[in-house]
Structure formats: C-alpha cells, structure tokens
C-alpha cells in the first residue's frame, strides 16, 4: 500500500499475542491446559450475579467501580481509593505504559517475562528492554544494571509466567529501593493468590511511592473470559490512570460477577487447595518420568525436556491424546512445555500420556 497513513513508530515491531491452543480440529473432547485457567470454572455465585445483571443491559454501567473496589479492599485489607479496575490486568499494564512511557523511554522486563510487557511498551512508542534472569528467576542485579535515566517502568511478575518462579520480599524491596527516581516498579500479581499468605506486594506499595501492583480475576477466580483485573498504587498514579481509562470500560455483569466471585471465599479456598495438591503431584509424577521442573508457585508447571525437538515431539504426542499444553519457544524456553495444573483426572491423564511418550522414545 503506497500511503502516507502510517502507524506510530514501534507498532509494526509488535508480534501478535500468541494465546494457548483452544481446540484440536476434529477432536470431540480435549482437555485444555494451555492458558492457566481454573479447571473448576467460575463460582456458581458469579454466574448467578452475571445473569441477574443482564436484565439491566440497557443501562450504562457505573464509571467509578466503587462497589467492586470496596469489596476488593475489604478482602485484601486495602484502601479502595488506591484501586483501579480494568479489562483484565492486561488493560492496567496498557494504561501504565500509555501513561508513563513514550518515545525515547525504556520499559524493563526479564528474559522470560510476560509477553504483554513488550507489546504494551511498543504500543506506547517506548523501547522494551529485556534483561537476563538467573536460572529462570528474575535477577535484581541484572535489572538494576539495565536501569538508566530513560527507564520509566520495570515489570516483574511474581510468581512469573511462564517459569512459575518467584523472587523473595527482600529482593523485591531491594529492587524498589535501587531504581532511578523516575522509574516505577510494577509487581504483576496475576498468580499471587496461589501463594498462601502472599500479599502480591501490597505492603511495599503502602511503604513506597514507586511501586504499583496488578492483580486479576482470570486465574484463581476462574474468570479469564470475564476480563477483569485491577491495580493498586499511590493515589497520584491511580488518578493518572483514571484519566486515560474509558469511563465505561467494565460492564455491570462483569462487575457484579467479579464481586460475587470475590465474596465466595469457600470456593476460592477449594480451588487454591486443589491447585497446591495437584501441582505437587504433577511435578513429582513428571520428575519420576525424567521431566523435571522448577518449583512452581502458580497454577502451572514448566516442564523441561532434553531439547526443543523432544519438547515439540511430546507436545505433538500430548495433542494426539487430546491434551493441549503450551509451547513456550516464544518465551526463549524452546526445550520446555508449560502445563496448567488441571483437576485430578486431567493431571493423571497428563502423567499417563507423558509416560506413553517416554516409552515410545525408548
Ligand atoms: N500477567 C501475567 C503474568 C499473566 O500471565 C497474565 C495472563 N496470562 C496476565 C498478566 C493478564 O491476565 P488478564 O489480562 O487476564 O488479567
């Protein structure tokens, strides 16, 4: 096309987001373990709330999300005025980049960091900077060494996707304290709920002016399809983000379903407990078959194979057995497969299939 109508610099460098496989052509029943979804689905209470709210779809939703913010504040012991809600935590990441990083600015994330950091940085016109990890764990020294006067945002997912690894509270605090004054540390807590007693970094947000936390309803709450996430940070930053947020970014059914899911604590606990139990079981079963993984703190494990060829062959075999997992070559982990922790039957199917694959190799 010969046209002078051109996108902003950086946009054409964006590679489209690769979601987990959702289906196998021709297969009647597949087990989807490719997108870190909750195998038990949403709470029934969330579904009821969603249905109820649908009767009011002719009305515009509230713009301030007060009721949901207050509910989040009550469950997590946080100030509702320091919360912002968005269309998944993806939207909060986008707002942060839009608001704080532009041409000539740098956005830092780690080697195996979540792909939306790069996409949102490029969409905002900023330069993404990927720094090395140490043995698949974020490395504070490498991040600090990459910082300079152009650094505006530093994203760390804790636990991280797709590695499942975490860095400790002291390291996170040291990172926050060592950043240049114009840089904001964003702690992405998409998987924080899977870590018993972990606040996702909320206390550090309270203690410092340069830390922000993002969270989601997509994982433990089983609401990936609903698209709701939230952010917690200093009031000044929340004010900035609210200025660029679409006033009606969330619908009433979304808001009501998220609030009902949040309040169904018994269901949340059941999902968390089952994930912890089956994660340990799956990691051990695969290790016994010669497929090790790092200790995962999330709802998936990163299974390591001898090389890319073996990982891909295993993926093909799993797929032939109706099991969808995730290749992570795009995350610089070509010899790994990311497997969501399913319910007990699904985990047993995965272990059985990997055993079948290993037997074929012999
Ligand atoms: N952060 C991390 C680390 C993730 O893995 C994901 C989902 N894959 C997200 C953020 C975004 O999730 P959502 O937009 O559904 O809240």
Q: Flag whether the pTM goes above 0.90.
A: yes
Ligand 1 center from residue 314 Cα (angstroms) = 26
Q: Residue 89: CB within 6 Å of ligand 1?
A: yes
Please give the Cα distance from 298 to 161 (Å, whole number): 8
88 lines ligand 1 (CB under 6 A): yes
Taking the CA of residue 93 as reference, the ligand 1 atom at the shortest distance is: 10
The answer to whether the CB of 190 is under 6 A from ligand 1 is yes
Domain boundaries defined on the chain:
11-41+266-361, 44-264
Q: Does 163 contact ligand 1 (Cβ within 6 A)?
A: no
Task: Tell me if 157 CB under 6 Å of ligand 1.
Answer: yes
Return the CATH fold of 44-264: 3.40.640
Q: Is the CB of 114 under 6 A from ligand 1?
A: yes
SS3 at position 152: strand
pLDDT of residue 1: 59
Ligand 1 centroid – CA 285 distance (Å)? 27
Six token digits for residue 145: 């060494």
CB 199 within 8 A of CB 222: no
ipTM of the complex: 0.99
pLDDT, residue 334, reads: 97
CATH of the structural domain 11-41+266-361, one choice from 3.50.40.10, 3.30.300.130, 3.40.920.10, 3.90.1150.10: 3.90.1150.10
Please report the pLDDT score of residue 253 as a whole number. 98
Mutational pocket test of ligand 1: of 93, 113, 190, 214, the residue with most ligand atoms within 8 Å of the beta carbon: 190
Q: What is the tens place of the pLDDT at every residue in 132-182?
A: 999 999 999 999 999 999 999 999 999 999 999 999 999 999 999 999 999
Q: Terminus-to-terminus CA distance in the chain, angstroms?
A: 53
Show the tokens assigned to 204.
């550090």
Q: Which two tokens stand for residue 341?
A: 């922790």
| pLDDT, tens only, 224-262 | 999 999 999 999 999 999 999 999 999 999 999 999 999
How many angstroms separate the most distant Cα atoms in the chain?
Answer: 63
Which residue among 116, 118, 157, 300 is best mutated to probe the pocket of ligand 1, counting the most ligand atoms within 8 A of its Cβ? Answer: 116
Residues of the chain with pLDDT under 50: none
Contacts with 285 (C-beta within 8 Å, 6 or more apart), sequence order: 347, 351, 354
Which stretches within the chain are classed as H helix?
44-54, 66-76, 88-100, 115-123, 140-146, 169-178, 202-207, 235-244, 252-263, 265-288, 308-320, 344-361
């Amino acid at each position: 096309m010969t046209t002078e109508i051109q996108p902003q610099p950086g946009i054409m460098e964006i590679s489209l987001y690769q979601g987990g496989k959702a289906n196998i052509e021709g297969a009647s029943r597949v087990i989807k373990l490719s997108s870190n979804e909750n195998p038990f689905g949403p709470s029934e209470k969330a579904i009821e709330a969603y249905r109820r709210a649908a009767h009011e779809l002719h009305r515009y939703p509230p713009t301030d999300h007060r009721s949901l913010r207050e509910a989040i504040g009550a469950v997590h012991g946080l100030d509702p005025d320091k919360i912002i809600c968005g269309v998944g935590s993806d939207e909060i990441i986008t707002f942060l980049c839009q608001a704080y990083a532009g041409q000539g600015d740098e956005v830092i994330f780690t080697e195996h960091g979540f792909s939306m950091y790069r996409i949102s940085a490029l969409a905002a016109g900023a330069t993404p900077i990927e720094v090395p990890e140490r043995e698949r764990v974020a490395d504070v020294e490498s991040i600090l060494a990459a910082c300079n006067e152009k650094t505006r945002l530093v994203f760390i997912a804790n636990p991280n996707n797709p590695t499942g690894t975490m860095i400790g509270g002291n390291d996170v605090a040291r990172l926050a304290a060592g950043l240049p004054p114009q840089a904001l540390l964003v702690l992405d807590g998409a998987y924080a709920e899977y870590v018993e007693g972990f606040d996702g970094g909320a206390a550090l947000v309270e203690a410092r002016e340069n830390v922000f936390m993002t969270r989601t309803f997509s994982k433990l709450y089983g609401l990936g399809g609903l698209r709701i996430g939230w952010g917690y940070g200093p009031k000044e930053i929340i004010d900035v983000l609210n200025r660029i947020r679409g006033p009606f970014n969330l619908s009433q059914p979304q808001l009501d379903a998220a609030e009902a899911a949040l309040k169904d604590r018994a269901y949340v606990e059941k999902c968390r407990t089952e994930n912890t139990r089956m994660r340990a079981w799956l990691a051990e079963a695969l290790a016994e078959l010669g497929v090790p993984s790092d200790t995962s703190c999330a709802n998936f494990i990163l299974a390591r194979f001898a090389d890319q060829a073996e990982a891909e062959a295993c993926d093909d075999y799993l797929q032939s057995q109706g099991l969808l997992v995730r290749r992570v070559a795009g995350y610089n982990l070509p010899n790994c497969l990311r497997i969501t922790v399913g319910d007990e039957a699904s985990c047993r199917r995965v272990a059985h299939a990997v055993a079948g694959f290993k037997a074929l190799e012999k």
